[in-house]
Structure 1
Amino acid sequence: MTMQASEARPGAAEVDLSRMSATRGGEKQGLAERVTLGLFIGVPFLALLAAVPVAWGWGLGWVDLSIATVMYFLACHGITIGFHRYFTHGSFKANRALTLSLAIAGSLAIEGPLVRWVADHRKHHRFSDKDGDPHSPWRYGESVPALMKGLWWAHMGWLFDEEQTPQLKYAPDLVKDPAIRRISRLFWLWTLISMLIPPLVGGLLSMSWHGALTAFFWGSLVRVALLHHVTWSINSICHAIGERPFKSRDRSGNVWWLAVLSCGESWHNLHHADPTSARHGVLRGQVDSSARLIRWFELAGWAKDVRWPDAERIAARRAA
């Protein structure tokens, strides 16, 4: 992967470099970290399971729905445009203000510090669906029991793996930028802000504690859980099923019914066929809201050198 200038893709690191293993080039995930991760996954997931009976019994108001929707797509695009297409793959160059904004917006998704996210994803592309891939659903084999076990691993089991991707090896460009490094280290702060914005807005709009509580349930817990599982579905579902109209060296597929909720990320086969492309949904009717926003950033002068796929580039990657 070609690294670009700091204007194109500045970096961040949440890890203390002195703690990196000299022999393995990475760090190990401690028990306390795994327990904390389990709580941040488990509590919102329980809220997601309770969402249907709660909506049935008490209803879902327009205020809560609006707060949850805005927070969902703000964080989702922070991940898809910022963490993924910009920081990981350098699909475009951004000015400093947009760079910092994307780093913070992606952090609001509560999917881990920026550098760790990027390092994991770059390693995934290097070993996609082969030995070394952090989250391939084909990890245990191709039989039905093996695939079921692999889907669980690819979806969320890999998050609890003791061995962590060496960040200096896979994200050295991000580690070098002090400002982004600070954003990554302040992941706990963005987590707190992400969880508190919905109840604060809901409480102020309703001028009641009840409004704050329902906004916290829908706009914080349910929203975070839904976004987590949509994002992880790109790792699991989109590497197990889906159409493959483009040539790639793995089993990535396009899953149309995830396109809107994933902000265009589920057009995953094209992404693996052309990782630096700023647009993933390149065929007719393929909704890709992330690409649309990148285009608006370009028109506003905030982004430049966008790697848009032209017809020749798309045709060259089509499967026979």
Structure 2
Amino acid sequence: MAENEAKSTEDDTGISSQEPRRKTISNAYVHRLQRRHFLLFDVLPIFGTVAAFAFLAVHPFGAPELALLLAMWIVTGLGISVGYHRLFTHRSFKAKPWVANLLAVAGSMAGQGGMVSWVALHRRHHECSDREGDPHSPNLAGGGLKGRLRGLMHSHFLWMRRHEYPNVVHYAPDLLKNRSLVRVARFYYYWIVLGLVIPAVIGGLVYQSWTGAVSCLLWGGLVRIFVLEHIVWAINSFLHMFGTRPYRSREESGNGGIFALLTFGEAWHNNHHAFPESPSFGLDWYRLDPGYWLVKLLKITGLAWDLKVPTSERREAKRIHTKIERTAAAA
């Protein structure tokens, strides 16, 4: 695909001309916004996690902190996996508008970027995966141990400081036309604050103290953001360098099924890159995929439909057979 696409415009004479539409944007203003987001929502949760452990000297970790950490992690994790990723980026199923809006809110509370920007970045990633233009590939930093470590650091964390910003007009025009989702996306920072206020208020009410509110804010808010971020980032980094590859795909994606539950099914990463339109990442019923469980539940209740799961024939056509399997088939 060419790096630029043409769009029709009119000059002062009213005559239509052709101007290139840039697929990425890179300027000082965009980079300032990226640095601010990086410091607030990628770096700050690290200090918040340290503060949570330090605050144990003031207020011990209890059942409310654990419950809020798990509950907020599940809600925001499914918002990213099912909402941002499977529904908005890959359109692997359709859902009622109010369901889509709730998933957008839940994903926004994760603090991993506004919905439209996240989708544009991920579509850019699939377009250029592990090649020039991929915003977070670990495989473009050179060979050897030094290059691999530099690539892992870049893809896991450092790329978010400054990168080419995908043009959302090019990569996410379908979302820009959805007025309901755009309205939700405009309140991105408010949704993040809501994700911090909820555990703080609940903690204050349960413990009837300000220390309880602060403790639950730390564990259900900042620690939860920290944990979910590094789980998601590990898919960008480690699973593009390590893991099994049962299916042919043009990049270096691998499966890390041992982490399937922790990643809401996202660890079936080679499966996903081989069949990006599928709402099921595990593909087989016995491969744990909590994100797909939610999609199936939505389908059963009539809130989702048009699930684009690949047929067994299509899967078999992309499967990489081992030498033993090829020998058995020939026999």
TM, length-normalised to structure 1: 0.88
* Greater fraction strand: 2
Q: For structure 2, list consecutive stretches of 5 or more residues without a partner in the other structure.
A: 1-19, 322-331
CA gap 1:241/1:56 in 2 versus in 1, 3 angstroms? farther
Q: How far, CA to CA, are the matches of 1:238 and 1:57 in structure 2?
A: 39
SS at match of 2:190: helix
Bigger Cα Rg: 2
Query: What does residue 15 of structure 1 align with?
Result: none
TM, length-normalised to structure 2: 0.85
How far has the Cα of 1:281 moved from its partner? 1.0
Q: How far, CA to CA, are the matches of 2:246 and 2:148 in structure 1?
A: 23
How far has the Cα of 1:205 moved from its partner? 1.6
Which amino acid in structure 1 is aligned with residue 224 of structure 2? R
Q: How far, CA to CA, are the matches of 2:60 and 2:254 in structure 1?
A: 37
SS at match of 2:307: coil
Q: For structure 1, list consecutive stretches of 5 or more residues without a partner in the other structure.
A: 1-20
Query: Is 2:136–2:154's contact at 8 Å kept on the other side of the alignment?
Result: yes
Of 51-60 and 306-315, more deviation after overlay is shown by: 51-60
Q: Does 1:26 align with 2:33?
A: no
RCO comparison, higher one (Cα < 8 Å, 6+): 1
Instruction: State the superposition RMSD in angstroms.
Output: 2.1
Query: What does residue 228 of structure 1 align with?
Result: 229
Q: How far, CA to CA, are the matches of 2:256 and 2:49 in structure 1?
A: 22
Query: Is 1:48–1:226's contact at 8 Å kept on the other side of the alignment?
Result: no
CA gap 1:256/1:59 in 2 versus in 1, 3 angstroms? farther
Query: What does residue 282 of structure 2 align with?
Result: 281
Query: What does residue 92 of structure 2 align with?
Result: 91
Q: How far, CA to CA, are the matches of 1:162 and 1:129 in structure 2?
A: 15
Give the paired residue count: 300
Q: How far, CA to CA, are the matches of 1:243 and 1:88 in structure 2?
A: 24
Query: Is 2:52–2:215's contact at 8 Å kept on the other side of the alignment?
Result: no
Query: Is 1:92–1:278's contact at 8 Å kept on the other side of the alignment?
Result: yes
How far has the Cα of 1:160 moved from its partner? 1.6
Q: How far, CA to CA, are the matches of 1:107 and 1:131 in structure 2?
A: 28
Give deviations 1:274-304, integer Å, cap 9, x for gaps. Answer: 0011111124642100011100000000001
Query: What does residue 64 of structure 1 align with?
Result: 65
Give deviations 1:174-232, integer Å, cap 9, x for gaps. Answer: 11122211221211111110111111111112221121111011100100000111111
How far has the Cα of 1:56 moved from its partner? 9.2
How far has the Cα of 1:59 moved from its partner? 4.2
Q: Sequence identity, in percent?
A: 37
Q: How does 1:100-179 map to 2 (within 5 A)?
A: 100-179=101-180
